[in-house]
């Protein structure tokens, strides 16, 4: 008697994600490095100058990390309360930060004590930045004001109080030292010119604004707040170009790639989305373990650093070609033991007798039941939720094998209300799947033939039969509509072909 052959599970094509150049580019990062900070990470800023260290603002301190270091190489901890918005100057020599105690502090990267302290705000300062002339500092506070400070004289130059709620984000223009933008919880984004006494442009974001970003050209402005990321044309008086709604929770941070062709947004929904700045369509997405508060890219996109609400800093470094070759070589199978004992060119002799160890066959549970002719139990096993939800092809393969043996009707008969409900649920769910339809149609016909006499005895079973009927009728309607559409397309193609032939003749 021949040995039992396990049920052959047919492999069906799966609809995977579309592989694009962006997919290959943004997946080309190593396994992330996780660094634990003291609190939620509210700001990450890369130094514009080599060696491109980055400042991480979390809790009451600012840590400076090297691009490949896992321990801080420097720490600024002279804050009485929570620190905010640690930002580098364009020469990488100075660092400015706000704090909960309403003081703006200026640090020298090579020192530890604050060089300057600017006092004037009455509430916490969440926004700090340098103007492009390097001699002034922008600050925005919960006291609804934004101010400019003179670094050499440690004095306040000008103060604006046009917002009617907290000022939580802001940025300066890299081209014009007098131009800066602020975003507020009053739903507005305002553009200020230091040479005037009031704002020169106002945009309504319609949500509390969490982050603003100005393109290097100065022509486009991006604002994030609520679930929306909006792009504004500065050259057309702040006209809205596009509104993106790809996140399902509040968007907290924005970032541009080194080339300026990709825009990144982080959100409380634990995702970082990547958009094309040409089409403003999402081209990639990163998933993280906790809500994202800050994101930054190293120059040339060598690393992507993400700060989260749980105080974890996630750092991914780009893979280089030589590292890929090393990884591929490590994956190659190493020579077996006999290779070392007998040598590379060993050939068995004519009189050698090979003793082979029989391979023990391990059968799945449903194959064991089929082997012992327990057809009903085998069908019950593959109808379990953990099987038919994750791998419906296994359930279909067993039904097909039972039909081939001629025992499918026996396996379907004699079922109670619970087991029959499971069977009908599976048929309703996968009957219209084109991969499984040929097999499941036969099974459905047998179920209707066996259990038609029980109609009216169970309200639950009756409901399942009605759902099965509605599913089949709906699918027939879809097929009829598709046939009509196919006829229209054939007519159009035929007409186009006739015109081309006539034109050619």
**147 contacts 139 by C-beta, under 8 angstroms:** yes
**167 contacts 142 by C-beta, under 8 angstroms:** yes
> CB 301: neighbour CB atoms within 10 A?
16
Strand order across the 61-65 sheet: 41-46, 54-58, 61-65, 74-76
Name the percent of the chain lying above pLDDT 90.
57
Predicted local confidence at residue 95, as pLDDT: 95
Predicted local confidence at residue 7, as pLDDT: 85
Predicted local confidence at residue 387, as pLDDT: 84
Ranking 163-167, 192-196, 434-438, 501-505 by mean pLDDT, the lowest is 501-505
pLDDT band at 266 (very low <50, low <70, confident <90, very high): very high
Give the Cα separation of 98 and 96 in Å (integer). Answer: 7
Give the total residue count for the chain.
505
Residue 268 above 90 pLDDT? yes
Q: Residue 290, SS3?
A: coil
Residue 286 above 90 pLDDT? yes
Q: Which residues pair with 220 in a beta bridge?
A: 233
For the whole prediction, is pTM greater than 0.75?
no
Q: Identify the helix (H) or strand (E) that includes residue 477.
A: helix 459-504
Predicted local confidence at residue 344, as pLDDT: 59
**HSE, side-chain direction, 13 A CA sphere, residue 233:** 7
Q: Which of 154, 149, 124, 126 is nearest to 136 (CA)?
A: 149
Residue 488 above 50 pLDDT? yes
Q: State the average pLDDT over residues 121-130.
A: 94
Region at 66 (left for phi over 0; alpha for psi -120 to 50; beta for the rest)? beta
Residue 46 above 90 pLDDT? yes
**207 contacts 229 by C-beta, under 8 angstroms:** no
Q: State the average pLDDT over residues 34-38.
A: 91
Q: How distant is the alpha carbon of residue 453 from its chain centre?
A: 52
Q: State the average pLDDT over residues 8-21.
A: 73
Q: How far is CA 269 from CA 33, 250, 376, 408, in A?
A: 21, 7, 45, 47
**223 contacts 204 by C-beta, under 8 angstroms:** no
Predicted local confidence at residue 73, as pLDDT: 93
Q: State the average pLDDT over residues 143-156.
A: 93
Predicted local confidence at residue 1, as pLDDT: 43
Give the Cα separation of 490 and 467 in Å (integer). Answer: 35
- Extract the tokens encoding 193: 């010119």
Give the Cα separation of 75 and 81 in Å (integer). Answer: 15
Predicted local confidence at residue 349, as pLDDT: 73
Q: Which residues pair with 314 in a beta bridge?
A: 34, 306
Predicted local confidence at residue 247, as pLDDT: 93
Give the Cα separation of 496 and 488 in Å (integer). Answer: 12
Q: Taking all residues of the chain, what is their mean pLDDT, rounded to a whole number?
A: 88
**119 contacts 128 by C-beta, under 8 angstroms:** no
Predicted local confidence at residue 340, as pLDDT: 57
**162 contacts 198 by C-beta, under 8 angstroms:** yes
Predicted local confidence at residue 457, as pLDDT: 87
pLDDT band at 17 (very low <50, low <70, confident <90, very high): low
Q: State the average pLDDT over residues 391-407.
A: 90
Q: State the average pLDDT over residues 195-222.
A: 93
**165 contacts 123 by C-beta, under 8 angstroms:** no
> φ, ψ for residue 142 (rounded to 5)?
-75, -5
Predicted local confidence at residue 334, as pLDDT: 59
Structure confidence by residue, pLDDT tens digits, 322-343: 766 665 555 555 555 555 556 6
Q: Residue 486, SS3?
A: helix
């Amino acid at each position: 008697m021949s040995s039992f052959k396990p049920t052959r599970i047919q492999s069906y094509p799966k609809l995977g994600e579309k592989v694009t150049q962006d997919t290959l580019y943004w997946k080309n990062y190593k396994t992330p490095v996780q660094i634990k900070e003291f609190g939620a990470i509210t700001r990450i800023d890369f130094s514009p100058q080599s060696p491109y260290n980055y400042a991480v603002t979390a809790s009451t301190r600012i840590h400076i990390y090297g691009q490949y270091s896992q321990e801080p190489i420097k720490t600024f901890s002279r804050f009485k309360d929570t620190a905010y918005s640690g930002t580098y100057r364009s020469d990488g020599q100075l660092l400015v930060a706000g704090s909960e105690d309403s003081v703006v502090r200026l640090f020298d990267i090579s020192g530890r004590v604050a060089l300057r302290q600017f006092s004037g705000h009455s509430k916490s300062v969440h926004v700090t930045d340098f103007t492009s002339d390097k001699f002034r500092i922008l600050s925005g506070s919960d006291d609804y004001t934004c101010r400019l400070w003179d670094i050499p004289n440690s004095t306040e130059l000008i103060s604006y109080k046009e917002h009617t709620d907290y000022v939580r984000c802001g940025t300066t223009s890299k081209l014009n030292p007098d131009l800066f933008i602020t975003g507020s919880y009053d739903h507005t984004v305002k553009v200020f010119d230091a040479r005037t006494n009031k704002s020169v442009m106002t945009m309504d974001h319609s949500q509390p604004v969490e982050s603003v970003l100005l393109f290097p050209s100065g022509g486009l402005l991006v604002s994030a707040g609520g679930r929306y990321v909006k792009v504004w044309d500065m050259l057309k008086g702040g006209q809205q170009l596009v509104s993106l709604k790809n996140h399902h929770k509040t968007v907290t941070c924005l970032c541009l790639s080194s080339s300026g062709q990709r825009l990144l947004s982080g959100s409380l929904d634990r995702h970082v989305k990547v958009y094309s700045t040409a089409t403003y369509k999402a081209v990639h997405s990163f998933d993280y373990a906790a809500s994202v508060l800050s994101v930054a890219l190293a120059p040339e996109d060598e690393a992507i650093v993400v700060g989260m609400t749980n105080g974890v800093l996630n750092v991914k470094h780009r893979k280089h070609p030589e590292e890929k070759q090393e990884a591929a070589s490590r994956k190659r199978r190493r020579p077996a033991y006999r290779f070392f004992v007998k040598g590379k060119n060993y050939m068995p002799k004519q009189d050698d007798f090979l003793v082979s160890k029989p391979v023990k066959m391990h059968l799945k549970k449903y194959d064991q039941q089929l082997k012992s002719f327990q057809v009903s139990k085998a069908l019950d096993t593959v109808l379990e939720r953990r099987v038919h939800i994750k791998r419906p092809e296994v359930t279909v393969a067993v039904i097909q094998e039972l039909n081939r043996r001629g025992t499918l009707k026996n396996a379907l008969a004699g079922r109670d209300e619970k087991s029959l409900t499971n069977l009908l649920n599976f048929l309703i769910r996968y009957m219209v799947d084109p991969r499984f339809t040929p097999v499941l149609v036969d099974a459905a016909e047998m179920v209707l033939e066996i259990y038609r006499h029980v109609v009216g005895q169970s309200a639950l079973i009756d409901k399942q039969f009605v759902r099965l009927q509605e599913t089949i009728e709906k699918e027939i309607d879809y097929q009829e509509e598709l046939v009509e559409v196919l006829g229209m397309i054939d007519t159009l193609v035929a007409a186009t072909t006739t015109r081309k032939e006539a034109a050619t003749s």
